[in-house]
Amino acid sequence: MARIGVTGHVVLADGTADLVYARLTEELRPYAGPDLLGITCLADGADQLFARAVLASGGRYEVVIPARDYRRRAVEAHNLATFDDLLRQASSVSYMPFPQSGREAYLAASMEMLHRCDRLFAVWDGRPSADVGDTADVVQAAHARHLPVTVLWPTGARRR
Pure H helices in 97-155: 103-116, 135-144
* pLDDT value, residue 130: 86
The tens place of each residue's pLDDT in the chain, 160 residues long, gives 999 999 999 999 999 999 999 999 999 999 999 999 999 999 999 999 999 999 999 999 999 999 999 999 999 999 999 999 999 999 999 999 999 999 999 999 999 999 999 999 999 999 998 888 899 999 999 999 999 999 999 999 999 8
Instruction: Just give the CATH number of 7-117+127-152.
Output: 3.40.50.450
Give the integer Cα–Cα distance in Å for 17 and 20.
5
pTM over 0.85: yes
The pLDDT assigned to 68 comes to 96
Tell me how many degrees the CA angle 45-89-143 measures, rounded to the nearest 5.
50
Give the count of beta carbons closer than 10 Å to the beta carbon of residue 61.
Answer: 25
Q: Report d(CA 160, CA 144) in Å as an integer.
A: 29
Q: What are the domain boundaries of the chain?
A: 7-117+127-152
